Amino acid sequence: MSKVKFTSCVLFLCITACQNSSDTQNSFKDKIIKIDLDHSSVGKLSEYFSTVSYILIENEEANPLVESYQTVITSNSIYIQDYFNSYVHKFDRNGILQNLFKSTGQGPTEYQQLDHFQVVGDTLFILDRSLRKIIGYNPEQQVVYEKSIPVNASLFRKQGNRMLFFMNNVRDKSDHNFLLYHEDSLVQESVKIKLGFEKFQFGSNNGLSSDFNSGYLFPIPFSRDVAFFHKDLNYNKKITFDFGLYSIQDLDFIRLNSLGGSAYYDFIKDNNLVENISTFTQFGEHYFMSIYQTKKSLHFIFLDKEMNITRQINKFENDIDQMKIRNIPWTVFENNLIFKINSVDFYNDYIAKFSGQKVTVEQGSIHEFFQNHQEKLKDDQTVLVSLTLREDLIK
């Protein structure tokens, strides 16, 4: 689920599209897809995933990871944003700290506020909207790129000389939420900002993710919409998901948020409503979506490339290693669905499940992981849980 940083209460975001090129217009195929959440059922984890593996992200005592947020996994490294102090912690694939990229100031080759980051090859690009610039670091933490950005964006995607910005309801030189620049020239505007929504800001823990045919997609925070982009970052289309009685309606957002206090949150809890799409991504040869039906259940939904629902689960029975599947999926790496869990919760879950039992400590097993990290798990750290998609679901 997207982590919310409010300037006020959040309202529902409706998307309308505007294309500036014939290529975009020709491929524009908006859809509304209805999903009946009452049809979700229990599924065994082994029906969808082949293995479960774990990584302990080990804190450096002098610079602990306080509030982990955006997480990017590559073949060699794990990058995690610390929302608390605007650092990026770079770990190896075993969870050992490699580098720490710190906010140091407002001058040249410095940044003070981390709003979003992107990893391209071995270069880390950081967006600082307060200074209106993007700064790039190589693995030795040397600045290899620094460029002012033309708008007050909170999220970006860099591809060569092109940059796609997500404006997060901020009107700056445009009435649209997505602005595409080629070098310093605005070449496309898409998804109009809804009138009256300019003061509402929210976060996204992933940003744009990969789509089929080298394209990209982005689940709009606190909406039922997913925006799709071509590989050149031109806007393509949007998909709107209709959860029926469990969808939050625009008028309810306006009415309840105008009341202040807890009226809005009480309403979504009392009616088991879906607040937003927490995850939407290409996953193997499918699309994967997770949504949280407030105070009721977490739904995992697989769709084919034509957006037909192929599997719909509201609870996974972990028949692979018996551990709890906690929280929402946080990110995706290749054919792995990544969750994150506090290490103390993980420790307590393990003790509750296996205490007093005779277990076999095999290489790569949950028991080996617990045995190797038992004392460190008692500290306030992060465990990344990786579910690997079954081979027959990848093709």
| Torsion over CA: 268, 272, 277, 279 (sign) | positive
pLDDT on residue 16 = 36
Q: Is 345 exposed, middle or buried (0-12, 13-18, 19+ CB in 10 A)?
A: middle
pLDDT on residue 257 = 75
The domain over range 23-394 is classified in CATH as 1.10.3720.10: no
Q: What are the contacts of 253-259 at 24+ separation with CB within 8 A?
A: 253/10, 253/11, 253/12, 254/11, 257/8, 257/9, 257/10, 257/11
pLDDT on residue 2 = 41
38: amino acid identity, one letter: D
pLDDT on residue 253 = 77
pLDDT on residue 28 = 41
pLDDT on residue 68 = 92
pLDDT on residue 150 = 95
Structure tokens at 340: 């994150």
Per residue, what are the HEC states of 87-119? Answer: EEEEEECCCCEEEEECCCCCCCCCCCCCCEEEE
> What global pTM score does this model have?
0.88
According to DSSP, the β-strands at 133-137 and 123-128 are: antiparallel
Query: pLDDT tens string for the chain (395 positions)?
Result: 444 443 333 333 333 333 343 333 334 478 899 999 999 999 999 999 999 999 999 988 888 999 999 999 999 999 999 999 999 999 999 999 999 999 999 999 999 999 999 999 999 999 999 999 999 999 999 999 999 999 999 999 999 999 999 999 899 999 999 999 999 999 999 999 887 677 777 878 888 999 999 999 999 887 899 999 999 999 999 999 999 999 988 778 778 877 877 998 999 999 999 988 999 999 989 999 999 999 999 999 999 999 999 999 999 999 999 999 888 899 999 899 999 999 999 999 999 999 999 999 999 999 999 999 999 999 989 999 999 999 988 86
Segment holding 353, helix H or strand E: helix 343-354
* CB contact at 8 A, 48 and 390: yes
Q: Rounded to a whole number, what is the largest CA-CA distance in the chain?
A: 66
pLDDT on residue 24 = 37
Structure tokens at 277: 């799409």
